[in-house]
Each structure stands twice: as C-alpha cells, then as structure tokens.
Amino acid sequence: MKLNYILLLLSYTCATFSLTTQEVIKEMGFGWNLGNTLEACGDWINGSTVKQYETAWGNPVTTEEIIKGVKSYGFNTVRVPVAWSNLMLDNYIINPLLLSRVKEVVDYIVNNDMYAIVNIHWDMGWFTKFATNEKEAFKKYTSIWGQISQYFKDYDEHLVFESLNEEGCWDEIWNQWSNQGDKKKAFNLLNNINQEFVDIFRNSSENNAKRHLLLAGYCTSLDLTSDELYVIPKDDRVMISVHYYGPSTFTILEEDADWGKAAYSWGTEKEINYLVDELKKIKKNFIDKGIPIIVGEYGTAITNKEPASVIRWLKTVAKTTSSFGMVPCLWDAGQYFDREKLVFKNPAIGELFKQLSSALKQNNNLYLQIQKLNKHK
C-alpha cells in the first residue's frame, strides 16, 4: 500500500500543470531568497556585465552548488529577486545577457526539482513613477513582463512569476501613516497593475495560460493587503504575497534610531502570542477563504541580537506560517547561508530548517496523496 501511494504521488507531481495553486503551495514548502544578488543595482556600480551587478552588493556569483546546498537544508523554493533595468537597452528592452543569466539561475532551481519565484524587485525605485507618469510606467511594466513571459513560456509550473516586490504603494497619492490623500486611487493603481500582470500571462502563449502567478499585496503589508480596497483579479491560479518583519525594533534595527529603540532580545510569551495573532489575520482574510499566501520575505538582523532570540523568532514565524498553509521565504542577503562554504553560518539555524521542513514535507505529502486519490474516484 505504501508503494502505491508513492507511485501515485510521483505521477501526480510529474504531470505539467496538473496541480491546483493550493496544491502547488503544498509542494513549495519552505522558501529561501537569493537576496542582494540579481537585484543589486545602483548608479555607482557603473558595470558593463551582468556579473559586475550580480556581485556588487557583496555576494558571489550564484552557482548550482549554492542551490543544492540550500536544498540540502530542506528548502524547496527559491525566490529570485531581479533588477531588470540593469544594462537595459532603449525602449525598455531587457538586456539579452541578463535574461540568459536569470534563465541559468532558474535552471539551477527547477533542474533540482525546486520551485523558482522570479519578480521585479526595487529596481532603482522606478515604481514611484506610477504616481507621476502612469502611462509611461505602465509602458515599461508591460514591456518587461511581455518579454519575460515569452522568454520563459515553455517552463512548467515550477516557475512562478511575482508581479512586483514591496513597491506597490504610493505615499504621494495616499499616505498610509497620516491617512492623507486618495486611498482608493492608490489601491486601484496596484489593483490595475496586478490585473495587467495577470492579463499579460493569460494572453500569452504556451504554458503561461495556466501558470501560477504571485500578486503583490499593498506594500506587502498584512493589514493593508487585508483592506477591502485590495481587489484580487478573478483567476483561480493566483497567490498573494505579503512580507513580515515584526517587530521592526528587533528585526530591522541594529542600533537605536529616531523612530525606535533597538531590541536585543525577543521571545516572551506576550511577544510570541502577538506575532502569532498578527499572522492569524492574514490566515483569516485569505487562507480561510481559499486564497493561497506566500510570505515572500521574513527575516531578522543578527548584529547586536541575542542568537537564541534570532532562532526563536525565525522558528516562530516559519512554523506558524507553514502551519497555516503559507509558504514562508527566508530573506537572506548573506547573513544566514554561507554561499562559499555551502552551510548555514549558525549551524543551529540550519538544523532548525531541516527539522521544520522534514515535518512539513510529511504532512504536505499526505495532503497531496489524498488529493490525488480523490481526483481518481
């Protein structure tokens, strides 16, 4: 009986686009970000090659060995942030060398039976132009995704595209802090961008008609994405992306700032309960309504932080989100996984993810087996 279940599962996962988006979420498991790499950008770089940009922020050139090293710790998804404006040609034409390089990295991932998420990251912040020159911003946006969708059209469901990063909010239109401005207009702008993103792929060719797509939440904020003004395109193969870095005094501040006092430790019962309650909001507003969620980024600073607190925070977020049916993607700019030695710098963090991913995989495999059997009844 056990062998039959395994054979059923293997046939299930090999069929191209046979999985629903909810089932893909189960396969994606834990995610890891290839941070500060292909999204590295800046006028100061003055580079003429993709490699010069890829290594500009201090990380080495990505290799398949790095991806295999990450996989060995139980991660089954790699999010690949990209600055497509690097070396861009006239009229928003993506440099062919950058497209080719992203393809190489994607192949490292999918050839190891992992899922790849490719996005447009901060990319020199040009998304602010949607507030001042919407027509031109949409021209660039549609040009970028039109080229990407065609270039990667033959890839199967192991390649997911993400509409944008955290830049889907415009304080010039509506200031979320002061509540000044036209809130509805700001949300509608992101709604229109996400709809355009979906339309580009659905009107494309080959596998793009069924491709699973990841849509950015408003500022990727738990609360703002849960706002009724955030509208999801009517499409049954989309997921929503949110990020989590709370509390910021612990996860972001390495030293005191004018807006907060840096926290050295974290993990009291009150703090843990508050974090879990925060994540329950997004579960209630999306997961419980059948809308898949990917936590595209979560992570914490490690400088001037108690190591035990760092591990406690990572464990709480990863375990809570995955138990809620979300895919948590660790933001790693080089602080966690050593891309030269191919091990986690803190062995305890590596062991944590091995244990969490092993338990999650068992649960998710059982879910997929049951779904397969139900489809054959």
Is 98 buried (19+), middle (13-18) or exposed (0-12) by CB count in 10 A?
Answer: buried
Q: Is 27 part of the annotated catalytic residue set? A: no
Does 166 participate in catalysis according to the annotation? yes
Q: Which of 166, 254, 278, 351 is catalytic?
A: 166
Catalytic pick among 39, 54, 162, 297? 297
pLDDT value of residue 377: 63
Q: What are the boundaries of each domain within the chain?
A: 24-375
Q: At the fourth CATH level, which superfamily is domain 24-375?
A: Glycosidases (3.20.20.80)
Q: Measured on CA atoms in the order 304, 323, 167, 178, is the torsion positive or negative?
A: negative
pLDDT given for residue 298 in this prediction: 98
pLDDT digit string (tens) for the chain, length 377 residues: 444 444 444 444 444 788 999 999 999 999 999 999 999 999 999 889 999 999 999 999 999 999 999 999 999 999 999 999 999 999 999 999 999 999 999 999 999 999 999 999 999 999 999 999 999 999 999 999 999 999 999 999 999 999 999 999 999 999 999 999 999 999 999 999 999 999 999 999 889 999 999 999 999 999 999 999 999 999 999 999 999 999 999 999 999 999 999 999 999 999 999 999 999 999 999 999 999 999 999 999 999 999 999 999 999 999 999 999 999 999 999 999 999 999 999 999 999 999 999 999 998 887 777 777 777 66
pLDDT attached to residue 205 = 84
SS (H, E, C) the chain: CHHHHHHHHHHHHHCCCCCCHHHHHHHHEEEEECCCCCCCCCCCCCCCCHHHHHCCCCCCCCCHHHHHHHHCCCEEEEEECCCCCCCCEHHHECCHHHHHHHHHHHHHHHCCCCEEEEECCCHHHHHHHHHHCHHHHHHHHHHHHHHHHHHCCCCCCCEEEECCCCCCCCCCCEECCCCEECHHHHHHHHHHHHHHHHHHHHCCCHHHHCCCEEEECHHHCHHHHCCCCCCCCCCCCEEEEEEECCCHHHHCCCCCECCECCCCCCCCHHHHHHHHHHHHHHHHHCHHHCCCEEEEEECCCCCCCCHHHHHHHHHHHHHHHHHCCCEEEECCCCCCEECCCCEECCHHHHHHHHHHHHHHHHHHHHHHHHHHHHHCC
The per-residue pLDDT for 376 is 64
